[in-house]
Chain A
Amino acid sequence: SNLWCLFSHSVDKAWKELSNILSGIFCASLNFIDSTNTVTPTASFKPLGLANGTDHRLLRYAVLPREVVCTENLTPWKKLLPCGSKAGLAVLLKAERLFHSSYHSQAVHIRPICRDASCLAVSWELRQTLTVVFDTFSSGQGKKDWSLFKMFSRTLTDACPLALQSKVYVDISPKNKEKELLEVTPAPTSVHEAIVQGDKRTYAVYDLLSPSLFNTSRSLNVQLKWKRPQDSSELPTPVLHAQRYVSGYGLQAGEISTLIYNTHPYRAFPVLLLETVPWYLRLYVHTLTIITKGKENKPSYIHYQPAQDRRRPHLLEMLIQLPASSVTKITIQFERALLKWTEYTPDPNHGFYVSSSVLSALVPSVIAMKDVDMEQSPLFTSLFPSSDGSSYFVRLYTEPLLVNLPTPDFSMPYNVICLTCTVVAVCYGSFYNLLTRTFHVEEPNRGGLAKRLANVIRRFRGVPPL
């Protein structure tokens, strides 16, 4: 889970309060956000909506890589919707089907916007997004057909009365200009064309507020059927995508490598990379190398804040120019620290997570986009923002990494303390003896019970006495 926010004053206290309040509202473990996983990025995050003056010191960003989404987080998220999950599109969001998917992500965005065109008053816009990836191919006996009922085991019955707009968009873009490859039932209310992320796409729109939709049946079950079994068509690779992995062997050192791909055929563009690495992986910035097409690539802006043990993580922000059709490899080496035994999680051999790095870029689009009004299609302007027609903004998150740290033996604190103190005591004892005692000629001692007993036994054996 990640959280970022721009404050106006008294940042640290407000950040702590915010993370705790959000943790309570969403039943998410956001209260684990503290200074060891919070950073202050300088360039990667700019405030959305209205903002006057951006001082990057008032911005905080935190990631908790080990937190997973669960049904406990869905329920308060649904409660924020005006109709809850009782009417409108949200009736589809039932936990047992939603979490039976390959990928699930929820987000809440809040930003200040103008209340009307004259912008005399500022209101707060709350935007909630839910992204789910269903794999109907593997669960649907090898057919790529899907329907709302199959995915959510429910159908839409009506629109939320409080909603101004309630629409379902189905992507029916034809591939390779072939028509009639797929069929959508029931017939859509309208068809909308848009240019999304440099691609021209056609959407079938189902407007839940239009009275004609629910005329024939009380419920709306959108179905998509493929007319012909198509050959394995590959999805087009996005213009910007990235991968990250850890290499190295053993528990002492390792290397984090990030691969960034620019598949645009002829345009180069810069990308801003933000990496947050926890303090127990000590990065060595002199081993940072950026290689593009076999040659070294120097970043035009680099901001590095090294970590402080147990206080803050590493922050590395770089602006890297990606040439067209290239792969850029960024590597940095690190050493693993040994933590105190109480700082390990209860399953220390699972490893420690390194949170995803964030890549922000204005990707130039292959097809020119026309300026779309926010009123007409709020979905597309907010999901795929672009300030001018030639490029769109993309924020990518790479995979989180799992690294193992060397562990001490957890069953031995008392033994270790005793043994080490014994060694110190050996030193102290020998030195004390040598320093405080002096040499003397030994006095003979005839007595001693043990000696007399031994002498008695020796007399019996016939051996000379001691």
Chain B
Amino acid sequence: VVEGLALLDLGVSPYSGAVFHETPLIIYLFHFLTEYAELVFMITDVLTAVALYLAIQDFNKVVFKKQKLLIELDKYAPDVAELIQTPMEMHYIPLKVALFYLLNPYTVLSCVAKSTCAINNTVIAFFILATIKGSAFLSAVFLALATYQSLYPLTLFAPALLYLLQRQFIPIKPKSKSFWLYTMQYAALYLCSLLVIICLSFFLLNSWDFIPSVYGFILSVPDLTPNIGLFWYFFAEMFEHFSLFFVCVFQINVFFYTVPLAIKLKEHPVFFMFIQIAIISIFKSYPTVGDVALYMAFLPVWSHLYRFLRNIFILSCVLIVCSLLFPVLWHLWIYAGSANSNFYYAITLTFNVGQILLVSDYFYAFLRREYYLTHGLHLTRPDGTEAMLVLK
């Protein structure tokens, strides 16, 4: 960002080079705030934590209400008393979420490095708060801001829509007219705010240069600086002939889990949002640890799934060890010269496998708990012996 500001001072468009890839609004924001940069990033982190706290508080109320409704409607099996969430255990969850975010070493690292990822996280946190509070307008505005900054939050449109429909008690049926009406309204709000923000950026710098530099950059991955993701080494070693094909495959990979997840998780949009944020932060083209910090902040919300998680010990060990090895192997490769790029790449692979398995473990646990809630905790086979549960 400082480089972009320096280029602007020299009279050259900041996007004429290949170094600056942030949006014009960020340039203008930092034009006034460069001296107080540390304070700005600390404030954004605090804002994110506060937004998450308020969002989860509201969410708990919603969950509790829904639970009560389902119990009264007798949808649950009789012996699942221990699986029901009580207000007692849910009382401290918002605080835990805020603390998880603030005290996460990844968040601290992002703040110290003054990475603009913190601003992305703040916008997404405000979007989640606005969605859970039920305000469609604010939710669309914040989603537009988040999409404007990095393209991928576009996929969060689906969970937000599902949540708002649920809140308005509109059934999700393709034949229902009110469903389409509401969807159109929300989509229109979102697209209009996006358009307004893009046009504002155009008028700030008087050129459309920022579109290829920001979005073209995210989509075509030209810069191969090593990061914690999977893309950089893949494209460094890719045969030239196939590079366009694999760029497309990788980008589609981020977007295409949305629709199946929407179909499966239409009753649980907030969990859907969590999974979607996790997928974005694993598969986006330039991931940073700040993105990882954001979805890890949600883990206390699903702490009641703990008993169904299968590999949590191994996965947490993998994630901790990989985070510790990242800087070591980076130093060995770049500074000491005694290791190869393969060492760092291997840790990248392991870290991402750990993240993927963590997310899918939580998904498995969630689905399993839902099954138990509706079918009873102690399952018996027709002949009375204890039954096992498998996915088929």
Query: Which residues does A use to contact B, with CB under 8 Å?
Result: 249-252, 279, 282, 284-286, 302, 304-310, 314, 335, 337-342, 406-409, 412-413, 416-417, 419-420, 423-424, 426-428, 430-431, 433-435, 437-442, 444
Q: Inside 8 A of B356's CB, which chain A residues have their CB?
A: 423, 426-427, 430
Q: Would A304 and B18 be within 8 Å (CB), given that A407-B341, A427-B360 are in contact? A: no
Query: Is B211 close to A, CB under 8 A?
Result: no
Q: Inside 8 A of B253's CB, which chain A residues have their CB?
A: 424, 428
Tell me the nearest residue of chain A to B231, going by C-beta.
A420
How distant is B3 from chain A, measured CB to nearest CB, in Å?
5
A150 and B302 CA atoms in complex are apart in Å by 89
How distant is A286 from chain B, measured CB to nearest CB, in Å?
3
For B392, give its contact among A279, A335, A424, A440 (CB under 8 Å).
A440
Query: Is B187 close to A, CB under 8 A?
Result: no
> B352 contacts A306, CB within 8 Å?
no
Q: Would A285 and B7 be within 8 Å (CB), given that A306-B12, A440-B390 are in contact? A: yes
For A435, give its contact among B7, B264, B387 (CB under 8 Å).
B264
Q: Inside 8 A of A427's CB, which chain B residues have their CB?
A: 279, 282-283, 356, 360
For B19, give its contact among A306, A407, A437, A442 (CB under 8 Å).
A306
Q: Inside 8 A of B235's CB, which chain A residues have their CB?
A: 340
> B335 contacts A250, CB within 8 Å?
yes
> A420 contacts B222, CB within 8 Å?
no
Query: Is B46 close to A, CB under 8 A?
Result: no
Query: Is B77 close to A, CB under 8 A?
Result: no
> A339 contacts B230, CB within 8 Å?
no
Q: Inside 8 A of A338's CB, which chain B residues have their CB?
A: 224-226, 232, 236
Tell me the nearest residue of chain B to A308, going by C-beta.
B18
Q: Inside 8 A of A440's CB, which chain B residues have their CB?
A: 389-392
> B334 contacts A306, CB within 8 Å?
no
Query: Is B333 close to A, CB under 8 A?
Result: yes
Tell me the nearest residue of chain B to A413, going by C-beta.
B237
A430 and B315 CA atoms in complex are apart in Å by 15
A408 and B368 CA atoms in complex are apart in Å by 43
Q: Inside 8 A of B357's CB, which chain A residues have their CB?
A: 426, 430
For B230, give its contact among A282, A306, A423, A434 (CB under 8 Å).
A423
> A439 contacts B390, CB within 8 Å?
yes
Contact size range, B: 35 or more
Q: Inside 8 A of A430's CB, which chain B residues have their CB?
A: 356-357, 360, 363
Tell me the nearest residue of chain A to B12, going by C-beta.
A304
Q: Inside 8 A of B135's CB, which chain A residues have their CB?
A: none
> A339 contacts B16, CB within 8 Å?
no
How distant is B30 from chain A, measured CB to nearest CB, in Å?
12
> B238 contacts A433, CB within 8 Å?
no
Query: Is B10 close to A, CB under 8 A?
Result: yes
Q: Inside 8 A of A437's CB, which chain B residues have their CB?
A: 391-392
Q: Inside 8 A of B335's CB, which chain A residues have their CB?
A: 249-252
Additional 16 contacts, C-beta under 8 A, given A250-B334, A338-B232: A285-B7, A302-B10, A307-B17, A307-B18, A314-B17, A337-B223, A337-B225, A341-B237, A406-B334, A407-B341, A408-B233, A416-B233, A420-B234, A424-B250, A427-B282, A441-B381
> B360 contacts A431, CB within 8 Å?
yes
> B349 contacts A423, CB within 8 Å?
yes
* Interface majority SS (helix, strand, loop, mixed), chain A: mixed
> B233 contacts A420, CB within 8 Å?
yes
How distant is A292 from chain B, measured CB to nearest CB, in Å?
21
How distant is A35 from chain B, measured CB to nearest CB, in Å?
14
A453 and B282 CA atoms in complex are apart in Å by 45
A279 and B225 CA atoms in complex are apart in Å by 14
A-B contact pairs, 19 of them (CB 8 A): A250-B335, A279-B18, A284-B19, A286-B6, A305-B16, A306-B19, A309-B222, A309-B223, A335-B225, A337-B224, A338-B226, A340-B240, A341-B236, A426-B357, A427-B356, A430-B363, A431-B261, A435-B260, A438-B391
* Interface majority SS (helix, strand, loop, mixed), chain B: helix
Tell me the nearest residue of chain B to A444, going by C-beta.
B381
Within 8 A of A (CB), among B332-381: 333-335, 337, 340-342, 345, 349, 352-353, 356-357, 360, 363-364, 367-368, 371, 379, 381
A279 and B388 CA atoms in complex are apart in Å by 61
Tell me the nearest residue of chain B to A410, going by C-beta.
B237
Query: Is B71 close to A, CB under 8 A?
Result: no
Type the 1/0 row for B119-132, where 1 means its CB is closer than 8 Å to any CB of A: 00000000000000
Q: Inside 8 A of A413's CB, which chain B residues have their CB?
A: 237-239
For B371, give its contact among A335, A339, A419, A439 (CB under 8 Å).
A439
Tell me the nearest residue of chain A to B264, going by C-beta.
A435
Query: Is B199 close to A, CB under 8 A?
Result: no
Query: Is B191 close to A, CB under 8 A?
Result: no
Q: Would A406 and B19 be within 8 Å (CB), given that A252-B334, A286-B6, A439-B391 are in contact? A: no
Q: Inside 8 A of B279's CB, which chain A residues have their CB?
A: 427
Query: Is B257 close to A, CB under 8 A?
Result: yes
Q: Inside 8 A of A426's CB, which chain B residues have their CB?
A: 353, 356-357
A416 and B360 CA atoms in complex are apart in Å by 24
> A305 contacts B12, CB within 8 Å?
yes
Q: Inside 8 A of B230's CB, which chain A residues have their CB?
A: 420, 423-424
Query: Is B5 close to A, CB under 8 A?
Result: yes
Tell me the nearest residue of chain A to B350, going by C-beta.
A423
Q: Inside 8 A of B2's CB, which chain A residues have their CB?
A: 286
How distant is B51 from chain A, measured CB to nearest CB, in Å?
28
Q: In this complex, which of A305, A306, A314, A338 has the most chain B Cβ atoms within 10 angstroms of its Cβ?
A: A306
A310 and B381 CA atoms in complex are apart in Å by 66
> B367 contacts A441, CB within 8 Å?
no
> B349 contacts A409, CB within 8 Å?
no
Q: Inside 8 A of B364's CB, which chain A residues have their CB?
A: 434
How distant is B328 from chain A, measured CB to nearest CB, in Å?
14
Tell me the nearest residue of chain A to B361, going by C-beta.
A430
A111 and B270 CA atoms in complex are apart in Å by 74
How distant is B321 from chain A, measured CB to nearest CB, in Å?
17
> A339 contacts B236, CB within 8 Å?
yes
How distant is B241 from chain A, measured CB to nearest CB, in Å?
11
Q: Inside 8 A of A249's CB, which chain B residues have their CB?
A: 335
How distant is A87 from chain B, measured CB to nearest CB, in Å?
53
Q: In this complex, which of A285, A412, A427, A437 has the most chain B Cβ atoms within 10 angstroms of its Cβ?
A: A427
> B238 contacts A408, CB within 8 Å?
no
A427 and B361 CA atoms in complex are apart in Å by 11
How distant is B2 from chain A, measured CB to nearest CB, in Å?
5
A421 and B232 CA atoms in complex are apart in Å by 13
Q: Inside 8 A of A442's CB, which chain B residues have their CB?
A: 387-390
Q: Inside 8 A of A409's CB, which chain B residues have their CB?
A: 237, 340-342
> A285 contacts B226, CB within 8 Å?
no
> A434 contacts B360, CB within 8 Å?
yes
A370 and B260 CA atoms in complex are apart in Å by 87
